[in-house]
């Protein structure tokens, strides 16, 4: 945090290396110039559905996709462990 005089508060610079001081300065600049969005609705978004709305149907689909992917991993392990000739005659 920077006070009105441009001095950093709460962090002594004596124990920081050169790259740490540069990083701290860069981070402080980013934070000082950050734009705070006001009057923006805060809401939850369900990423498993394109509409962003949670439904039991979309949750069920997401669970089924995970189950299918897990089962495919098991199938692929079995396939790769099969003893088959390198060429078919």
* pLDDT tens digits for range 22-80: 888 888 888 887 777 677 788 888 888 889 899 988 888 888 888 787 788 888 888 88
Enter the DSSP assignment of 53.
-
Same domain, 31 and 54: no
On whether residue 17 sits in a domain, the answer given is yes
Asked whether residue 2 carries a pLDDT value surpassing 60, the answer given is no
pTM of the model: 0.36
On whether residue 89 sits in a domain, the answer given is no
Same domain, 8 and 32: yes
Same domain, 57 and 72: yes
Return d(Cα 44, Cα 53) in angstroms, integer.
9
Q: What are phi and psi of 68, to 5 degrees?
A: -60, -45
Look at residues 50, 58, 88 and name the one whose alpha carbon lies nearest to residue 66.
58
Same domain, 35 and 55: no
Q: What is the pLDDT of residues 77-87, one digit of tens each?
A: 888 888 887 77
Same domain, 51 and 75: yes
Return d(Cα 47, Cα 25) in angstroms, integer.
36
Q: How many domains does the chain have?
A: 2
- Look up the domain containing 29 and give its range: 1-39
């Amino acid at each position: 945090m920077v006070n009105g005089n441009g001095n950093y508060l709460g962090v002594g610079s004596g124990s920081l290396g050169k790259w740490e001081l540069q990083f701290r300065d860069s981070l402080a600049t980013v934070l000082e110039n950050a734009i705070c969005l006001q009057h923006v609705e805060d809401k939850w978004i369900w990423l498993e559905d394109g509409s962003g709305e949670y439904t039991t149907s979309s949750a069920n689909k997401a669970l089924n996709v995970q189950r299918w992917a897990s089962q495919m991993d098991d199938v692929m392990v079995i396939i790769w462990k099969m003893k088959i000739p390198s060429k078919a005659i």
